[in-house]
Structure 1
């Protein structure tokens, strides 16, 4: 059954614009930060805007029901303290989370929806000094929505291990970074791509999550830091299509129709499960610029 808790007694109107200071006057919470937990009400407010993008704070709707939100902390590795801890443990603490986004009018915000934590993971982003650090990405779903795809609890299962790693002394810096980097490499970006494509291969609709590959359209080793984290530079593929796409043996037109390279055409590509009639129906406008670059490298 869908989760309908909190639908009644809704203190905010969806898509209505509010003056942020008035929200705090009534409910309390930090007036400056992106995460504001009320001491007077069981509420946590999260405010998403463009001002923190240079520090990796790129929040977005991954699909119509899942919003990704970067944790707080402008310097050094983010930790599960203060607002980040409140978000992670909000269900255990009985707190409701209300999502607001930046409005055109200065000092005003628009109420998006009430959300609840689905999962979290980690990624590498610059801090305010430009130094790479580990950041936390929360994935929230709209309250009342029943999503078809399962939660991935792996990140939660190693949260304690991550916290312990951050407390290691400086002589263990290399070990600490090794742990964090190994986790981050399989972390938030993959989850963003999974949600963006709703846990299905972009070509076939195959939906076994552990098999699907979050492939960069412009490869990691050729991409800028921004491109590496850009969900538009990702496509979710089953292994056979990923292998061919990664080697520039297939690509896609802007319409989504598959393109077969000359070397592939000279083989019996049907033995690979390729028909030549495949089509991707869900490319975003942001995907198309990356696809143009990919097609230029198609093998001839």
Structure 2
């Protein structure tokens, strides 16, 4: 399948689809949570469904050092298998076959339908934008608070909110990044999804996530807030929806062992929630 053959695609979650209908091209989507892992988990589940079930082209950008954890999470949520720390478990023969088929599919898809890369600077992202990203229907930038978006040769940490020398502050960087991501969605005619922490505890670190969230809230077309509500229950709130109703809640279940967020909302069709290899 070639990029651009669909005007939009499913979120993979019936409850979210009922509200946002689908992810449209040129849209910027933000997923925020006071527990950043949950934001990343929802993004990974949406990415898995888009790439493996809906057969879209996807690119996923990670801060440096997170590739191993991401690969494990993507495998678990895509297959619904309980794997050990080395990616194996006591699997039945059919599940062993599904894992082998999935692994072969991953290898075959990487570099074309599936791109997973590290990007630590805005310049890295812009480089990929002109190359491998060009075919992507869905681009995910995970944990944007961990990226350094200062120009090459310059270092401005999260604390640089008021630069005494008149140079760019961290707020300037985040504002530029938010605008760049929105422009990227328009330029690529793709959906760009970003995850960001939403810390409200009053600590020094909380300003970092809130600052990024405020800029992304302004520029995004759709904003999801993911929060635990007790036990395995998780609530996904559609905080902003430029194309329809917002301030709606979609309850889900967190299945930690298989890295899935499960939406019990009845689907509109009998198609499976997860790919069958």
**Which of the two has higher C-alpha Rg?**
1
Q: Larger relative CO (CA 8 A, sep 6+): 1 or 2?
A: 2
More helix by share: 2
TM bracket, shorter-chain basis = under 0.3
Alignment TM-score, normalising by the size of structure 2: 0.27
